[in-house]
Structure 1
Amino acid sequence: MINSLYTYFRGLVKYRWLLRQLIARDNKVKYKRSLLGYAWSILNPLLMMSVMTAVFSGMFRFDIPNFPIYFICGNLIFSFFQESTTMSMGSIISNAGLLKKVYIPKYIMPLSKTMSSFVNLWYSLVALFLILIVTRTRFQWTLLLIPLPLLYLFFFSFGIGLLLCVLATFFRDALYLYNVFITALMYLTPIFYPISAVPDVIKKIIYWNPLYYFVLMLRQLVLDGTLPTLKLHLVCISFVVISLTVGLTVFYKNQTKFFLYI
């Protein structure tokens, strides 16, 4: 199985030009006829941060030091996961015409969606640094390690995207059910509230949410200026390994059946 997967993904080098084209296409389509273009990748988290800060700092008064940074760290992680997995989910269906005409490794479709979202995520990081400057938050040396939780998140999201891609291709209803799931997941991820504010029963559910740990690692690097513990790294790596193993296995075993459903 491992040798088969190695041979399968070795073809990625051959089709890297196509991958670049697909990523560029996705980004062009996303900002087509937009006056501000890529600036929206920066403005969107800034606007969301402004609204959530006004609502939750004023109305609910959660005791969160530097709420703007706290929120934007969680929002960046969740927004990337939501966008990348949602786009990956319909990648085979939306590219059915291309896949029927020429041979292309099918995993390139969900991979291109995840990578295009990852490009947007790096643009969005500009918003994070702007808020750090505006709020006069101290720049910690641990900011240099920000790519680490983002890479964990990338591979985790890619694995989930592969799995969702198969489900959506075989069962179109999965596209609609996932919208409900992702909304529930947003509330079960401590983006705009501290985990100490929820009951113990909800905490146990949150602790099974992989996004919680990616968000926690990013906040430790940005807000606390501390290195994540070995335990936190192992938890994140475990979720990545499980996600990729399940996603790759399910995708690899079912890809030959896609033409019957697209």
Structure 2
Amino acid sequence: MSDAARTRGRAIAAGVLLAVLPALFPAAHARPLAEIKSRGELSLCANPDALPYASDKADLPGFQVEIGRALAQRLGVKLQVLWIIPRLRANLVDCDMLLDTISDPAAQRGPIRLTQPYQKSGVALALRRGLQAQRFDDLAANTRVGVMINSLASRSLNQRGLRTVPYAFEADMVADLAKGELDACAVSPASVAWYIHQHPESGLHYTHAYDSEPELHWNLAVALRRSDEALLEAVNTALSQLAADGTLAQIYGRYGVELRRP
């Protein structure tokens, strides 16, 4: 499998917008740090209906928006959120950054710079009440396992002979797991953690199974659109400060998500 195909597969497995950076950030003039400070705004691309990642709800904006605000504050500017809807034509998007981007050289096509990684992620193993396992290899062959359609996790688990059930949306998959229609899910840790945070009575639990799966784990970074070195350094400094003072952990914690440093 090529690096590009692997990156696309990881994006699907993660259930978030990760591997379409060249399309999301069309060619345009550079957005250096000086220009951002001059206009007083740093812009973020985000989905208006994708909790826990992002939302247009003022009281529950999602951790991507909250992290974006914290970064903008460190740079001394305000955050502008530009909402991305899947049907939106990519050439209409014009923002400075996208969070939760896989930190992979194969994804660096076009005028994109990636910051230092700030979160460790991958494909977690979510389990229904009463079922115990630590790794995907611990699952019995007849276990009903939800997977994202056409994802690396889907391919990997099918090759192991597991009984996979394809889904287009992680939220639907986790909801079916809670109903008992599935035994397990290959899912992003943020999605299942958010569900458990909202529904502690569900009995769902999960493990970071990707820790032992080289193809199913990755680090996340901020993708900057046509930035200069000064903007990259400023965002890297801000990320380090937010991690060191506990701000990142607090933001993630509000959504039931664990900060796992790369």
Structure with a larger share of its residues in helix: 1
**What range describes the TM-score normalised by the shorter chain of this pair?**
under 0.3
Structure with a larger share of its residues in strand: 2
The structure that has the greater radius of gyration is 1
Instruction: Give me the TM-score of the superposition, normalised by structure 2.
Output: 0.28
